[in-house]
Amino acid sequence: MLARNPENWRKLLGEKSWPRIAWSRALRAASELAPKGLYARALIIIIAPIVLLESVVAFTFMERHWNQVTRRLSEGVARDMAAIVDLYESSTSKDDVARLIDIGQLRFGFSVAVLPAGNLPTPQPKPFFDLLDRALSDEIRAQVKRPFWIDTVGQSRHVEIRVKLDQAILRFVAQRGQAYASNSHIFLMWMVGTSVVLLTVAILFLRNQIRPVLRLADAADAFGKGRPFPPEFRPRGAREVRQAAQAFLEMRERIRHHVEQRTTMLAGVSHDLRTVLTRFKLELALLRDSPEIHALKNDVNEMQHMLEDYLAFAKGDGGEEAAPTNVGELLNEVQDETEYLGTPIEVRMRQPRHDLVLALKRQAFKRAVTNLVTNAARFGNIVIIRAGADDIWLRIEVDDDGPGIPPAERDNVFRPFYRLDHARNQDAGNSGLGLAIARDIARSHGGDIALGTSAMGGLRATIRVPL
């Protein structure tokens, strides 16, 4: 059935035939092996046409010029040899032979010797690049028309040919330059030399063109991580790169202006609202203590905590500048300041003998870690803070032995005001902004926060920022 109906084969193999699958796999492998950087790709764009052009030129030269010149030279050598052979066969005395040998040496540039009659040597192995051997053999076969033996492999600067006659064997030794174009390497050397010079100029030029792009990338990376802006950065390079750099600087100024305006507005709002809450507290303090007054005081305190969380979320990092920060000292401060929660908190440094210092917005980062620790202490009986760094990232893990968070809800808890309906539900004074504030601060440092399962069975919150 399959052999009779091609449609069955098409259904069995699928819509894509194996040549298409092989071609797509080859393209995928080539894309994976291709360089990813702009510098390397630009070099390939320059080098590939040069190599292709040189290959075509070299092939054309070897095929046309070198091959043609070699055949012409081989033809001339074969004709000279044929003339000497004819003169030798027409000679009648030893003086004629001696004169013929002198003529071959002086006029034709041959070293001619007369050997006793016999068999020719066994053929020598052909060289790998046997253009000379083939061209000279064809011409000798056409011009001399006698059995011959040729050696183009032995002495590198000479060619030996032996021609078998009826009464003797004539041995000819000629310079290799007489039989083939010996100056071809000069052309190849000039071609390779000019290519090296062009590639060197291209590499230097590309390096100067890529450098402004790399500086722009470094400046954007530093700005995204909240680190100090490179002081030497300014628009440089090609017109398009300068336009991109100028647009980045203008965007940076707009963002900084927006953050300053928001910080100023939030500071005013915070001051006004705190003033009202302070008056509420004073008025409640003047009233006689009663269950209703106590409840009102709790509501005011809860309102103040919620207000602080809202303002902290809206304010973000508050435009704080990054500065060198000792991570171990910061974590010890978090441990001391969260002792009031009553939950044992332990700090473990993976490299305790080395101070871990990197550029951080200290107060903002401390608040992010404090939010994670407070969240863990609220639902667990023990909290462990681990900190360590590799070549790329600083990682701080906050583990607890609480009920944890289901995997399906771990992304949702970072949404502002999102509250779970399970074990980690809201309690008094919880606004649902702690994790959102922590992630916002981590991302302002160029990092992120991820939730997982702790080795103690609870929740593990991992904050990581680039070094």
Q: What is the pTM of this model?
A: 0.48
Please, which pLDDT band fits residue 199 given cuts at 50, 70 and 90? confident
pLDDT at 314: 59
Q: Is the pLDDT of residue 1 over 60?
A: no
Weakest mean pLDDT among 140-154, 214-228, 273-287, 314-328: 314-328
Q: Is the pLDDT of residue 216 over 50?
A: yes
- What digits encode the pLDDT tens for the residues 293-325? 777 777 777 677 666 666 665 565 555 677 888
Name the architecture of domain 320-466.
2-Layer Sandwich (3.30)
pLDDT at 62: 66
C-beta of residue 230 within 8 angstroms of C-beta of residue 218:
yes
Tokens 């705190």 map to which residue? Answer: 274
Which 8-state DSSP code applies to residue 123? P
C-beta of residue 186 within 8 angstroms of C-beta of residue 156:
no
Non-local CB neighbours of 285 within 8 Å, separated by 6+ positions:
none
Q: Is the pLDDT of residue 417 over 80?
A: no
Residue 241: CA count within 13 A, CB half-sphere: 16
Which 8-state DSSP code applies to residue 63? I
Whole-angstrom Cα Rg for the chain: 44
C-beta of residue 392 within 8 angstroms of C-beta of residue 225:
no
**What average pLDDT does range 378-385 have in this prediction?**
87
**What average pLDDT does range 228-236 have in this prediction?**
75
Q: Is the pLDDT of residue 462 over 50?
A: yes
| One-character DSSP codes across 202-269 | HHHHHHHHHHHHHHHHHHHHHHHTTPPPPTT----SSHHHHHHHHHHHHHHHHHHHHHHHHHHHHHHH
Q: Mean pLDDT for the chain?
A: 76
Please, which pLDDT band fits residue 181 given cuts at 50, 70 and 90? low
- What digits encode the pLDDT tens for the residues 425-434? 444 445 567 7
- What digits encode the pLDDT tens for the residues 87-118? 888 776 777 778 888 887 777 878 888 888 88
**Which is higher by pLDDT, 234 or 24?**
234
Please, which pLDDT band fits residue 217 given cuts at 50, 70 and 90? confident
| Domain coordinates in residue numbering, the chain | 1-34, 58-182, 320-466
- What digits encode the pLDDT tens for the residues 56-91? 777 776 666 677 777 788 888 888 888 888 888 877
Q: How many CB atoms lie within 10 A of CB 22?
A: 10
C-beta of residue 155 within 8 angstroms of C-beta of residue 134:
no
In this structure, which amino acid lies at residue 1? M
C-beta of residue 370 within 8 angstroms of C-beta of residue 463:
no
Q: Is the pLDDT of residue 424 over 50?
A: no
**What average pLDDT does range 158-186 have in this prediction?**
77
User: 143-152, 192-201, 394-403 — which one is most confidently predicted on average?
Assistant: 394-403
pLDDT at 253: 80
Q: Is the pLDDT of residue 11 over 80?
A: no
Please, which pLDDT band fits residue 2 given cuts at 50, 70 and 90? very low
- What digits encode the pLDDT tens for the residues 46-55? 778 877 887 7
Weakest mean pLDDT among 22-36, 137-151, 204-218: 22-36
Non-local CB neighbours of 371 within 8 Å, separated by 6+ positions:
434, 435, 437, 438
Counting residues of the chain whose pLDDT is more than 90, the rounded percentage is 0
- Fold of the 58-182 domain: Beta-Lactamase (3.30.450)
